[in-house]
Amino acid sequence: MKHLLIATIAVFGLMACNGPAKKSSNTQSAEPQIQSVSVDNLLAEAEQLVDKTVKVQGHVTHTCKHSGKRCFLVGDNEQFTVRVEAAGKITGFNRELVGSTIEVEGILKERRLSKEYIDQMEHDVNEKVKEDGSAESCATEINNINDMRSWMKANNKDHYSIYFVEGLSYEVVE
């Protein structure tokens, strides 16, 4: 009887050791982890990331005060800005976020401005100057148009790309 009891315990012990393998904590999930990038790095890689899920981290410089549906992020180089549109779990961006660093997860989108569209923009600005003589305020718009054309020429493109993030969720980092 003792031998039967010991044999039974041994069998159950072996079965427990050979049972289904436990998942270790460092196994990868089915979805690859998305690494967070700065605004500067996101814009450098934007062409390859269009319509893909991204995480971008930056300093909030502005939130739209009327709707709260947009915020603008800058990285270390404050020359580059990315717009974030509220979508997914984001119902809006509070004005208190200005000055904070946030990390946004979302889909990178691209809006292309054609050469014809840019030509029409320039025509509209010139008409505005003729109508009300507001050359000072229009100088910035003309400079932006010239910058777009310079970028198109330098990059051998027939359009100017504006990248933005359709934000699905965010969290305050600082």
The pLDDT tens digits for 119-164 are: 999 998 888 877 776 666 678 888 899 999 999 999 899 999 999 9
Given this model, what pLDDT does residue 79 score?
82
Q: Is residue 5 a part of any domain in this protein?
A: no
- Model confidence at 93, pLDDT cuts 50, 70, 90, reads very high
Q: Is 57 exposed, middle or buried (0-12, 13-18, 19+ CB in 10 A)?
A: buried
Domain extent for 68 = 36-172
Q: Is residue 20 a part of any domain in this protein?
A: no
Q: Is residue 159 a part of any domain in this protein?
A: yes
Residue 15 has pLDDT above 60, yes or no: no
Average pLDDT, rounded, for the chain? 80
Angle (CA) 97 80 36, round 5°: 65
Mean pLDDT value of segment 100-117:
95
- Name the DSSP class of 96: G
Q: Is residue 133 a part of any domain in this protein?
A: yes
Q: Is residue 12 a part of any domain in this protein?
A: no
Residue 1 has pLDDT above 60, yes or no: no
Q: Is residue 31 a part of any domain in this protein?
A: no
